[in-house]
Amino acid sequence: MKYCSKCKKLYFTAVGERCVRCGRRLIDEPSHYSPVELVTANGFELERIKAALTDGEVAFSVQEIKKDTGIQILNSAPPENCAVFVPVSDYQRAVEVLAGIGAIDENDIEEISDDDRQKLEKAENDSKSEEMSPRKRFWVKLLSFIGFLLLIAAVVYLTDFLASLLKPLWGG
């Protein structure tokens, strides 16, 4: 598995050391956070893809393709073409979801070798092991907030205490 950090594309077949699109040197082991361009869509199809990825609990982002003209801004129309990106860790699941709704033709999906499939599964497991559960995240946020309030209270009380000690020195 090779990855182009400029084009945000994964290559599973032998393509050499350079990206086919831009010519940049390919990375052998991308981070599980690295974004991968999955599909380009617009209008209703884009909304359908976003809904399917959300329902499939796949992390994604949408970015307008820079080659489009600025006419959409003037007309307040939606962008003509948008690229949908997913992290490497969610790539397999995203492809399955989009193939399931017909947004990606199954014949266009690159064949993934067993070695690359293991790398993708490792990236998925790495991302899951780093994530906090919603319950743990809630408690960390709550305790951080309480700790911050206690820190502010300690600074205020310490300042007040020091002011009361120094006040007699200035005849107040």
Which single residue is written with the structure tokens 């999906």?
A: 109
Q: How many domains does the chain have?
A: 2
For range 77-99, the mean pLDDT: 80
153 and 120 belong to one structural domain: no
Reported pTM: 0.60
For range 141-147, the mean pLDDT: 95
| Residue-level pLDDT at 67 | 60
Task: Tell me if 12 is assigned to some domain.
Answer: no
- The tokens for 154 are 């300690």
Task: Tell me if 40 is assigned to some domain.
Answer: yes
Average pLDDT over the chain, rounded to whole?
A: 80
Domain range spanning residue 104? Answer: 32-131
**Tens of pLDDT along 11-53?**
777 677 888 888 888 888 777 778 888 888 888 888 888 898 8
Contact 24, 34 (CB under 8 A): no
100 and 139 belong to one structural domain: no
Give the C-alpha separation, 52 to 47, whole Å. Answer: 9
36 and 86 belong to one structural domain: yes
What percentage of the chain has pLDDT greater than the value 70? 77
145 and 84 belong to one structural domain: no
116 and 144 belong to one structural domain: no
What percentage of the chain has pLDDT greater than the value 90? 13
